Amino acid sequence: MNTTTAPSVPVRRPAPAQLDAPYAEALRSYTAMDWMRLNVPGHGAASERFGALADLVGAASLRLDVPPLLEGIDLETNSPLDRALVLAAEAWGARRTWFLTNGASQGNRIATVTARALGETLVVQRSVHSSVIDGLVLSGLRAAFVRPSIDSALGIAHGVTATELADTLTAHPEAAAAYVVTPSYFGAVADVRGLADVAHDAGIPLIVDEAWGAHFGFHPDLPANALTLGADIVVSSTHKLGGSLTQSAMLHLADGPFADTLEPLIQRAFHLTQSTSASALLLASLDTARHTLVNDTDALSASLAAADSMRAAVRAAGRFSVVSDGFGRFPDIVASDPLRVAIDTRSGGVSGHQARWQLMKEDRILVEVATDAAIVAVVGAGSAPDHDRFITALHALPADLGTPTEPPRLRLPSPGPVRMTTREAFFAPSRTVPAAEAVGRISADTLAAYPPGIPNVLPGEVITAELIDFFQRTTAAPTGHVRGAAGPDLATLRVVDATSHG
């Protein structure tokens, strides 16, 4: 693992303005007044009338649940929302930041639609999230894929090197932009500076899906964030590890060579995708998360210590192994996210799916991701979980959960050949056929073993027998399913009607 290209973050003092959370504070002040609410939402914060809802989310949440376009919160120029957005941009080192209330998936769709204004081909890391593929459908962009490195033993996709990106761009001089993912679901961090240099040398912007790296840059023991390393557009899933509420995210625009062109395009795409009834709760949680990340370094230190203790205990016990310990074998990985604790469970005689199921069922412990070979536990920025409870439960897992000590691993299948563009296949006449009959046919759907939601089949790609076997074995596992499938058991698949595609 080449750590020389993954700079850490120096200790810094926050600017005085970063001590404020203007939107969250304005929302609290506004809703503390004795309002007679004859507007939406329909519950009107009347917890005595909407008792079931108040019991579910709390009376305070009902009061804070206000609509947009309120004076004193988000209506006037330099409103509290405007100031919160400026503070977020400053915190992440952006020229401009947008708060998103439909997750990083919305950010990926915005970035992809924006890229369509720059050209007709998007160079895309093949292991992008399915929301980027959704963006290809919406935008009509053609995709030229650059393959990530694969840990074939664990069935894990990592990242791409600058050399691999350069080769793909050379083959596609018409490219509008390059789209990569870092960090990966398993915490592998790519060489963003090298990737940005390659994209810029080709005259195009670099878009980074940094969904799992919202916390990067806020502690000296964390990797630097993608904006500071030259990325032009960065999608940040703030709710994942950054401490905001589920479904809240941010999109950042760097003050780089493409900013003047990209800013108005992003703003238009934002209006196209953002709800006109954006949740005040989600927006306030983003403002609060930024405030905490900037100002509470001690809490982040506690989170890092908890994750380090988990990895140390796994190594010391000797039964299981830590996935990131093997990252040095891959030239695309320059660092790892220390808040991700990825564990090879098969080395201890348990499949990842079985381990996740057992931990949930018997110990009431939830982990983020399970594959056939591994689980990933995450420690949120600012949280400090009981790592002893997790380690004790992990090592109490019986080795006879239907998995022999050295079972054949479920390897990540290769995608089939591309026969149509994503958009063409998605909107083409289609039909549902038995899985066995789908072999050799063109998929009309995006199919992704979930989690982590990385597409294994795209609309326009040929479905292979290897892929069907992979999906069916995934759905047979206690916690596995396939996003986008026509049915939960993968008995049928949706394919392009042969009569519509000669």
Do 305 and 247 lie in one domain? The reply is no
Structure tokens at 345: 């469970």
> Stretch 270-281: mean pLDDT, rounded?
96
Q: Is residue 116 part of a domain?
A: yes
Higher local confidence (pLDDT), 455 or 85: 85
Helical spans, DSSP H, in 210-296: 238-241, 259-273, 280-295
Q: Which residues pair with 495 in a beta bridge?
A: 431, 443
Do 273 and 376 lie in one domain? The reply is no
Q: Number of H helices and number of E strands within the chain?
A: 17, 19
Residue 407 is predicted with a pLDDT of 44
Residue 472 to residues 151, 187, 257, 357, 432: CA-CA distances in angstroms?
21, 27, 46, 18, 16
Structure tokens at 144: 């030229």
Do 286 and 315 lie in one domain? The reply is no
Q: Which of 280, 295, 310 is the last residue of a domain?
A: 295
3-state secondary structure of 296: coil
Instruction: pLDDT band for 1, please (50, 70, 90 cuts).
Output: low
CATH number at residue 174: 3.40.640.10
Q: Is residue 333 part of a domain?
A: yes
Q: Which of 265, 295, 325 is the last residue of a domain?
A: 295
Q: How many domains does the chain have?
A: 3
Q: Is residue 11 part of a domain?
A: no
| pLDDT tens-place string over residues 39-51 | 999 999 999 999 9
- Distance (Å, whole) CA 225 – CA 92: 8
Residue 3 is predicted with a pLDDT of 47
Q: Which of 244, 261, 295 is the last residue of a domain?
A: 295
Residue 500 is predicted with a pLDDT of 62
- Distance (Å, whole) CA 41 – CA 43: 6
> What letter does residue 501 receive in the DSSP assignment?
-
Are 387 and 309 in contact, with CB atoms under 8 Å apart?
A: yes
Per the structure, the complete domain to which residue 81 belongs is given by: 18-295
Residue 4 is predicted with a pLDDT of 42
- Distance (Å, whole) CA 92 – CA 85: 11
Do 205 and 230 lie in one domain? The reply is yes
CATH number at residue 366: 3.90.1150.150
| Whole-structure pTM value | 0.93
Do 225 and 341 lie in one domain? The reply is no
Do 73 and 218 lie in one domain? The reply is yes
Prior bond of 183 cis (ω within 30°)? yes
Identify the burial level of 78 via C-beta atoms within 10 angstroms of its C-beta, where 0-12 means exposed, 13-18 middle and 19 or more buried.
exposed
| pLDDT tens-place string over residues 349-371 | 999 989 999 999 999 999 998 88
Q: Is residue 55 part of a domain?
A: yes
Instruction: pLDDT band for 501, please (50, 70, 90 cuts).
Output: low
> Stretch 67-89: mean pLDDT, rounded?
96
Instruction: pLDDT band for 481, please (50, 70, 90 cuts).
Output: confident
Residue 168 to residues 172, 183, 460: CA-CA distances in angstroms?
6, 21, 20
